Amino acid sequence: MTRVIPLLAILLLPYLQVTGQGCSDAGFCTAGSLGRKQFTQTGPSSQLEFSFTIRDGERSSYMYIPQLEYSYTFKNKDYVEIKVPYYIVSGIEGRSGIGDPIITYSHPLKSSGTF
């Protein structure tokens, strides 16, 4: 019986409908070491950026997302990034407000040779 359940699951897998959300929040998929090669800096540096995204939402609405981004690389190549989005939603559900801030910290692992 214990071998039948995994086999049954494998046989039924092609018939299941699976959906995914993708990036959970504006900018999260590109936050910190997920989106930048920050460890190439040789010394301390900081950067202030502004981004703007437009996405279509539910029920014929649109989301306008301006986002302020600040990053700082320390002397030892540690990296801190802060992103603060502001959501403006048009349409029936029209609202606006500050979204969830995203704060990331990255620290490079020691490497040797080609690894």
- Provide the residue ranges of all domains of the chain, joining segments of one domain with +: 22-106
- State the virtual CA torsion across 70, 75, 78, 79 in degrees, nearest 10: 10
What is the spatial distance between Cα 28 and Cα 26, in angstroms, rounded to a whole number? 6
pLDDT above 70 coverage of the chain, percent: 70
* Better-predicted residue by pLDDT, 94 or 65: 65
Whether 20 has a pLDDT exceeding 70, the answer reads no
pLDDT value of position 68: 93
- Mean pLDDT, rounded, for 77-82: 86
What is the spatial distance between Cα 100 and Cα 113, in angstroms, rounded to a whole number? 40
Task: Given CATH 1.10.20, say whether it is the number of domain 22-106.
Answer: no
DSSP 12: H
* Better-predicted residue by pLDDT, 58 or 111: 58
- Mean pLDDT, rounded, for 44-62: 85
